Amino acid sequence: MKIKKLNIIIVLGLIATIGILIAQLIWTYKAFTLEEKKFSQKIHIALLEVARELYKSNGHEFLAKDLIQRVSNDYYVVNVNDNIEPKVLEHYLKTEFLKFNIITDYEYAIYNCESDDMIYGKYISIDDDLAPKKTIEFPKSNNLVYYFAIRFPQETSYLISSLQFWFLLSFALIVILLVYVYSIYTIIQHKKYSELQRDFINNMTHEFKTPLSSILLASNYLSNQDSIKNDSKLETYTSIITTQGKKLNNHIEKILNIARNDESALEISPVKIKLFPFLSEIAEPLKLKHENLKIEIDVNPDETIFADEFHFTNVIHNLLDNSIKYSEDNPEIKITSIRNNKELKLDFTDNGIGIPQKNLAFIFDKFYRISNKKSNEVNGFGLGLFYVKKIIQQHHWKISARNNSDKGLTISIIFPNS
């Protein structure tokens, strides 16, 4: 069901983004067409004014009917039907184009009826240094005697420059679409790898549990045999098999739980817990197991929290177990609590080897283990602290780690006041 919903969201998002992009491109095209029409209208009016001035300078009556022909998008013919002085024409063109804010390159030529040819072609550039030096060739128009032609070779680029906002917006939408597609591709790939990893872990652990159960069953049977009990070496070996088998079984169960809990949130059932007796109860068996272990609990006897008893027990056990494993000689752990108006902070401080500063931010990641001599000696899969952080997050608490100034590591759990 979740995969189906994800696919629907992806498809709808993709359709919406493509729809917006298509709409933007249509708007941009319409804006370009409108701008082209406005430009043509301005040219038409400006050329009419130029023709009017030419008639006026020659002392003739101005006739505006069928005066201007638009041959193509950037090419116009003005049928003045009167004598045209090149310098006068150029002056009026520059004046009227400036008046109508037509700031782009253009080229013009005048028809000579005596030679039956277009003469005096000239390129007018807004940047005189870029004006081409080549001779301009204009096609002749039939049935016209006194006329001039004008072409705007940079019209398209001029119109595009006036629509920079629209094109930038379209470009931004294309970039957003590409980022969206890439993000979706990354999510799908990540989900695919995550599912493969989970399936592999489930299959692997289940395959291990069958032979492991047989090993534990056989070792328990052996340990109850009189011949084994009477031989100290055999009893030690049998005990090692049983102990290591149970440890391996715990590791497998932990991996299965992590893989299972990745699919859905853990079920949390908070109850009221008195911290001091709760911590003491977890610490005592560890002290018996490790002769040189010293655990000091400096917590207010009346301090209480609301937590899932089973999972919180695992959290404390994991933190203490890590401190013991990564201590070189005589492990010393101090648990202290500090409460203020906003929160309660529980610190676990040890005298272990600490964590290199560059690795500190990753210690709660799944399967993350630091490669050093001590880590190689300690068995594990890098799941303990990942499980701890997952439980902390499920309770809406916070967890952090820092190296001590002298030696060891301090891990802090912060319980916001509810």
179-210 tens-digit pLDDT: 877 887 787 777 777 777 677 766 766 677 77
* Average pLDDT for 109-124: 75
Task: Quote the pTM value.
Answer: 0.45
Through-space distance between the first and last CA atoms of the chain, rounded to whole angstroms: 35
Has residue 1 got a pLDDT over 50?
no
Return the pLDDT at 397.
Answer: 92
* Average pLDDT for 261-279: 78
Which of these ranges, 208-212, 283-287, 322-326, has the smallest mean pLDDT? 208-212
Has residue 153 got a pLDDT over 50?
yes
* Average pLDDT for 227-249: 79
Which of these ranges, 122-136, 185-199, 219-233, 358-372, has the smallest mean pLDDT? 122-136
Mean residue pLDDT across the chain? 80
> What is the 3-class SS of the chain, one letter each residue?
CHHHHHHHHHHHHHHHHHHHHHHHHHHHHHHHHHHHHHHHHHHHHHHHHHHHHHHHHHCCCCCCCCCEEEEECCEEEECCCCCCCHHHHHHHHHHHHHHCCCCCCEEEEEEECCCCEEEEEEEECCCHHHCCCCCCCCCCCCCCCCCEEEECCCHHHHHHHHCHHHHHHHHHHHHHHHHHHHHHHHHHHHHHHHHHHHHHHHHHHHHHHHHHHHHHHHHHHHHCCHHHHCCHHHHHHHHHHHHHHHHHHHHHHHHHHHHHHHHCCCCCCEEEEEHHHHHHHHHHHHHHHCCCCEEEEECCCCCEEEEEHHHHHHHHHHHHHHHHHCCCCCCEEEEEEEECCCEEEEEEEECCCCCCHHHHHHCCCCCCCCCCHHHHHCCCCCCHHHHHHHHHHHCCCEEEEEECCCCCEEEEEEEECC
Return the pLDDT at 272.
Answer: 92
- Beta bridge partners, 381, equal none
* Average pLDDT for 36-60: 85
* Average pLDDT for 10-31: 80
Which of these ranges, 4-8, 88-92, 111-115, 257-261, has the smallest mean pLDDT? 257-261
Q: Which amino acid is at 197?
A: Q
